């Protein structure tokens, strides 16, 4: 059973544009535009954008940290 769980995790680690849009709560075209502008980490494979969940999570955490510290003034 552990083997099956690991395989499912690996399969879900790579996300499509639609999955990322749903994951981030954004419109698909917004994610597409940000991806084309290289503002979101992704790779184009066979004409389709693919995203790694872990890389996306790290990027999101970095973006949130950067924006929260930039707007903070004691």
Q: How confident is the model at residue 72 (pLDDT cuts 50, 70, 90)?
A: low
pTM above 0.85, yes or no: no
Span 1-39, pLDDT tens digits: 444 554 444 556 999 999 999 999 999 999 999 999 999
3-state secondary structure the chain: CHHHHHHHHHHHHEECHHHHHHHHCCCHHHHHHHHHCCCCCCEEECCEEEEEHHHHHHHHHHHHHHHHHHCCCC
| Res 70: pLDDT | 64
CATH 1.10.1660 fits 15-70, yes or no: yes
pLDDT over 50 at 65, yes or no: yes
pLDDT over 90 at 66, yes or no: no
| Res 28: pLDDT | 97
């Amino acid at each position: 059973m552990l083997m099956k769980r690991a395989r499912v995790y690996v399969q879900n680690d790579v996300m499509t544009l639609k999955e990322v849009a749903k994951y981030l709560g954004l419109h698909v075209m917004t994610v597409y535009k940000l991806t084309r502008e290289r503002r979101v980490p992704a790779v184009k494979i066979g004409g389709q954008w693919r995203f790694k969940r872990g890389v996306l999570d790290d990027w999101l955490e970095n973006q949130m940290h950067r924006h929260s510290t930039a707007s903070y003034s004691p």
